[in-house]
Amino acid sequence: MDTPIFINRARYEAPREELTGREILALAGFGEDHDLFLLQGEGDPSGGTPIGLDQRIRVEAGQHFRAIPGNRNFG
């Protein structure tokens, strides 16, 4: 059974209970040039906890992640 998670506020279905950071990014169509953060909810003011590309995490329904470009060049 798939688990609903949110990446940059969009809903995705995680295919397994445990995924790597790389797999979570790929689920949303992002590549390894992005950094991934686990949020404590959609409005997390801390910016989230960094998740490494090879780091395995247990995904739970309703978790929020943020993916941002690794070069942080927004303009």
Each residue's pLDDT tens digit, 33-43 = 999 999 997 77
Dihedral, CA of residue 49, residue 60, residue 18 and residue 39, to nearest 10: -10
Which pLDDT does position 73 carry in this prediction? 62
Which pLDDT does position 19 carry in this prediction? 97
Q: Is residue 62 part of a domain?
A: yes
* Number of independent structural domains in the chain: 1
Return the SS3 of 14: strand
Q: Is residue 13 part of a domain?
A: yes
- C-alpha 8/C-alpha 25 separation (Å) is 10
Q: Which tokens in the block code for residue 63?
A: 């978790």
**In sequence order, which ranges of the chain are alpha helices (DSSP H)?**
21-27
**pTM more than 0.85:** yes
Full domain range(s) for residue 11? 3-69
CATH of the domain at 29: 3.10.20.90
- C-alpha 35/C-alpha 3 separation (Å) is 22
From first to last of its 75 residues, the chain has per-residue pLDDT tens of 789 999 999 999 999 999 999 999 999 999 999 999 999 977 788 889 999 999 999 999 999 999 999 876 655
Q: Is residue 74 part of a domain?
A: no
Q: Is residue 75 part of a domain?
A: no
